[in-house]
Structure 1
Amino acid sequence: MWQNIKTTLLLALLDALFLIVGGLIGRGTGLIVAAVIALAVNGIAYWKSDAIAVRAARAVEVTPEQAPELHQMVAELAAAAGMTKPRVYISDDPSPNAFATGRNPEHAAVCCTTGILNLCSAREMRGVLSHELSHVRNRDILTASTAATLALGISIIAQIAQFSLFFFGNEEESAGQVLVTLLVAFLAAPAAAIIQLAISRSREYEADHDGAVLSHDPLALADALRKLEARTAQVPMQVAPALAPLYIVNPFGNRRASLAALFSTHPPLEERVARLERMAQGR
Structure 2
Amino acid sequence: MNGLKTTMLLAALTALFMGLGYTLGGSGGAVIALLFAAGMNLFTFWNADKIVLKMHRAREVDDRSAPEFYGLVQQLATRAGLPAPKVYIIDSPHPNAFATGRNPENAAVAATTGLLNMLTRDEIAGVMAHELAHVKNRDTLIMTMVATIAGAISMLANFGMFFRSDDNRSNMLAMILAVIVAPFAAMIVQMAISRTREFGADRGGAEISGNPRALASALAKLAQGAARIPSPVAERNPAAAQLYIVPTHISEMFSTHPATERRIAELEAIADEMGLHSPPPLAPTRGIAAAVPSSARRRRGSALDPLGRND
Instruction: Report TM bin, short chain.
Output: 0.7 to 0.9
Matched, 1:132 2:131: yes
Matched residues, number: 270
- Contact 1:225–1:249 (CA under 8 A) maintained in structure 2: yes
Please tell me the residue identity of whatever aligns with 1:167.
S
Compared CA separation, residues 5 and 211, structure 1 to 2 (3 A): farther
User: What does residue 234 of structure 1 align with?
Assistant: 228
Matched, 1:190 2:187: no
Taking every aligned residue pair, what percent have the same amino acid on both sides? Answer: 45
CA apart distance, 1:101: 1.1
- Contact 2:17–2:33 (CA under 8 A) maintained in structure 1: no
What are the equivalent positions in structure 2 for 1:1-283 lying under 5 Å apart? Answer: 7=6, 10-11=9-10, 13-14=12-13, 27-148=26-147, 151=150, 166-169=164-167, 181=174, 184-186=177-179, 187-241=181-235, 242=237, 243-252=240-249, 255=252, 260=253, 263-282=254-273
Listed one character per residue, the Cα deviations across residues 6-33 of structure 1 (whole Å, up to 9, x for unaligned) are 5455445546656777788874322210
Please tell me the residue identity of whatever aligns with 1:131.
H
User: What does residue 278 of structure 2 align with?
Assistant: none
Listed one character per residue, the Cα deviations across residues 31-75 of structure 1 (whole Å, up to 9, x for unaligned) are 210011223345334422222322222222112022222122111
- C-alpha distance in structure 1 between counterparts of 2:90 and 2:156, whole Å: 37
- Contact 1:229–1:254 (CA under 8 A) maintained in structure 2: no
* CA-atom RMSD in angstroms: 3.3
Moved more, 74-83 or 26-35: 26-35
CA apart distance, 1:156: 8.1
Please tell me the residue identity of whatever aligns with 2:273.
G
- Contact 1:38–1:149 (CA under 8 A) maintained in structure 2: no
- Contact 1:34–1:157 (CA under 8 A) maintained in structure 2: no
- C-alpha distance in structure 1 between counterparts of 2:4 and 2:217, whole Å: 28
Compared CA separation, residues 226 and 7, structure 1 to 2 (3 A): same
- C-alpha distance in structure 2 between counterparts of 1:274 and 1:130, whole Å: 18
Compared CA separation, residues 86 and 115, structure 1 to 2 (3 A): same
- Which consecutive unaligned segments of at least 5 residues does structure 1 have? none
Please tell me the residue identity of whatever aligns with 1:82.
G
- C-alpha distance in structure 1 between counterparts of 2:249 and 2:171, whole Å: 39
Moved more, 117-126 or 231-240: 231-240
- C-alpha distance in structure 2 between counterparts of 1:152 and 1:222, whole Å: 30
Compared CA separation, residues 93 and 181, structure 1 to 2 (3 A): closer
Matched residue of 1:99: which SS? Answer: strand
Matched residue of 2:109: which SS? Answer: strand
- Contact 1:151–1:193 (CA under 8 A) maintained in structure 2: yes
- C-alpha distance in structure 1 between counterparts of 2:255 and 2:148, whole Å: 19
TM-score, with normalisation over the residues of structure 1?
Answer: 0.78
Moved more, 273-282 or 187-196: 187-196
Listed one character per residue, the Cα deviations across residues 157-195 of structure 1 (whole Å, up to 9, x for unaligned) are 87898888x51539xxxx7x7687566545234212321
- Contact 1:228–1:249 (CA under 8 A) maintained in structure 2: yes
Compared CA separation, residues 131 and 36, structure 1 to 2 (3 A): same
- Which consecutive unaligned segments of at least 5 residues does structure 2 have? 275-311
Matched residue of 2:273: which SS? Answer: coil
Matched residue of 1:65: which SS? Answer: coil
- Contact 2:80–2:208 (CA under 8 A) maintained in structure 1: yes
- Contact 2:17–2:34 (CA under 8 A) maintained in structure 1: no
Listed one character per residue, the Cα deviations across residues 133-167 of structure 1 (whole Å, up to 9, x for unaligned) are 11222222322245356646766887898888x51
